[in-house]
């Protein structure tokens, strides 16, 4: 249920007709990029040089259409253009190229389907329901989505975890951990730690595949569970709850918070990462506000929440020491997107660095 990277996004204001027009016209470049993905253009270009004419024959499209598409890809430096010859940029040749090991196909597919899904927004606005509310979550969908989460997160997870010091915590539960990308980053950074990914069976199958390619993966275990319906077995020093809060309604989140609190060792930490809203009216950051639209499209009760409201739910579930955890700008998943709380009890083994008091 996640969009792309949200670093460096500006806060748009629309006060004139020109600004309104420009905001709507922003669909043009995304549409050019998606057309290139639909053609699998970066894979076709590979590591060769092509004239637009040759490439159009390869892709079985018109030369005129391809030249205009390629010119626009070159204008944003996704392709390199010299005279009439095009080559891949580094990004095009790697993450966007199906034949390269760094290909991020899972997430590219998700972005393509999201384009279609967002075209159906009015259905959800009218009904208040997710667009495909009558279609169950299948293992195939879950698998594809879990790979998308991995491809989205594999670079930011280590950068975020590097800033979260968990002291001598020995056990970490990655609750709704999906591909386990964060759990793996915690394990890589903390050699004495053991972690458990809790998710649905199909997501766990992907997590196992990914963990099998890393040495630290030997310290990863798995817990298939629907934690919205059942208590969480076991006791942990840290529970990491990343990008799950927004999937659920306030009531469901409060139930999950109580379950997390019951599964923490005394003094253990519950660390939440999400698209928090930070202003009084709940409008900003813009990306967090827009992300609520995704939750309308894809979930029955999800939303994005003010950090202050989430802190109250944590208090209600018996947590203490509720704090936001600032990260270095440019390394965050969401702007000021980390909130942590402790289970009452003796001095925690897990200490998160650089905290700032949030609520009481």
Ligand X SMILES: C[S@@+](CC[C@H](N)C(=O)[O-])C[C@H]1O[C@@H](n2cnc3c(N)ncnc32)[C@H](O)[C@@H]1O
Query: Which is nearer to ligand X, 134 or 230 (by Cβ)?
Result: 230
- Does 199 sit near ligand X (CB under 6 A)? yes
Q: Which residue is nearest to ligand X (CB)?
A: 176
Query: Which is nearer to ligand X, 285 or 302 (by Cβ)?
Result: 302
- Residue selected from 130, 178, 267, 268 as contacting ligand X according to rule CB under 6 A: 178
CA distance linking residue 157 with residue 29, whole number of Å: 28
CB burial string 303-342: b at 16+ within 10 A, e below = bbbbbeebbebbeebebebbbbbebeeeebbbbbbbbbbb
Bridge partners for 270 per DSSP: 239, 341
CA atoms within a 13 Å half-sphere pointing along the CA-CB vector of 220: 30
- Does 204 sit near ligand X (CB under 6 A)? no
- Segment near ligand X (CB under 6 A), from 39-47, 69-77, 170-178, 339-347? 170-178
In the bound complex, what is the minimum distance in angstroms from residue 50's beta carbon to ligand X?
36
Total residues at interface with ligand X (CB under 6 A): 21
CA distance linking residue 288 with residue 7, whole number of Å: 12
The tokens describing 15, both together, are 């006060």
Q: From start to end of 131-212, where are the E strands? A: 171-175, 194-199
- Segment near ligand X (CB under 6 A), from 51-59, 60-68, 99-107, 241-249? 241-249
CA distance linking residue 271 with residue 325, whole number of Å: 9
- Does 243 sit near ligand X (CB under 6 A)? yes
In the bound complex, what is the minimum distance in angstroms from residue 250's beta carbon to ligand X?
15
- Does 254 sit near ligand X (CB under 6 A)? no
- Residue selected from 105, 106, 176, 217 as contacting ligand X according to rule CB under 6 A: 176
- Does 247 sit near ligand X (CB under 6 A)? yes
CB burial string 17-29: b at 16+ within 10 A, e below = eeeeeeeeeeeee
CA distance linking residue 355 with residue 357, whole number of Å: 7
- Residue selected from 43, 97, 153, 324 as contacting ligand X according to rule CB under 6 A: 153
- Does 227 sit near ligand X (CB under 6 A)? yes
- Residue selected from 163, 228, 299, 355 as contacting ligand X according to rule CB under 6 A: 228
* Four-residue CA torsion sign, 211, 141, 150, 130: negative
In the bound complex, what is the minimum distance in angstroms from residue 244's beta carbon to ligand X?
5
- Residues in touch with ligand X (CB under 6 A): 1-2, 146, 149, 153, 176-178, 181-182, 199-200, 203, 225-228, 242-244, 247
């Amino acid at each position: 249920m996640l969009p792309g990277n949200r670093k460096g996004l500006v806060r748009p204001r629309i006060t004139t007709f020109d600004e309104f027009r420009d905001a709507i016209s922003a669909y043009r470049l995304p549409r050019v990029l998606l057309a290139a993905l639909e053609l699998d253009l970066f894979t076709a270009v590979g590591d060769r040089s092509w004239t637009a004419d040759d490439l159009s024959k390869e892709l079985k499209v018109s030369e005129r259409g391809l030249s205009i598409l390629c010119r626009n890809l070159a204008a944003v430096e996704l392709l390199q253009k010299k005279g009439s010859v095009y080559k891949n940029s580094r990004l095009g040749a790697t993450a966007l190229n199906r034949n390269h090991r760094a290909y991020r196909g899972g997430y590219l597919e998700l972005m393509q389907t999201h384009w279609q899904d967002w075209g159906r927004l009015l259905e959800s606005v009218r009904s208040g329901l997710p667009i495909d509310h009558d279609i169950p979550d299948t293992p195939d969908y879950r698998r594809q989505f879990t790979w998308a989460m991995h491809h989205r997160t594999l670079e930011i997870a280590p950068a975020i975890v590097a800033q979260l010091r968990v002291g001598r915590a020995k056990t970490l539960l990655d609750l709704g951990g999906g591909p386990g990308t964060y759990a793996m980053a915690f394990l890589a950074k903390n050699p004495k730690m053991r972690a458990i990914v809790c998710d649905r069976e199909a997501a766990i199958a992907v997590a196992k595949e990914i963990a099998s390619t890393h040495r630290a993966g030997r310290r990863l275990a798995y817990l298939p569970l629907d934690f919205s319906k059942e208590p969480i077995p076991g006791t942990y020093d840290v529970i990491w709850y990343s990008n799950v809060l927004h999937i659920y309604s306030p009531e469901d989140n409060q139930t999950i918070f109580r379950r997390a609190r019951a599964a923490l060792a005394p003094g253990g930490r519950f660390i939440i990462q999400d698209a928090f809203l930070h202003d009084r009216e709940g409008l900003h950051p813009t990306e967090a506000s827009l992300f609520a639209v995704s939750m309308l499209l894809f979930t029955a009760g999800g939303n994005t929440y003010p950090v202050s409201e989430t802190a109250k739910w944590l208090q209600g579930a018996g947590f203490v020491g509720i704090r936001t955890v600032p990260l270095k700008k440019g390394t965050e998943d969401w702007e000021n997107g980390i909130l942590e709380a402790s289970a009452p009890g003796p001095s925690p083994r897990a200490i998160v660095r650089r905290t700032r008091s949030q609520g009481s």
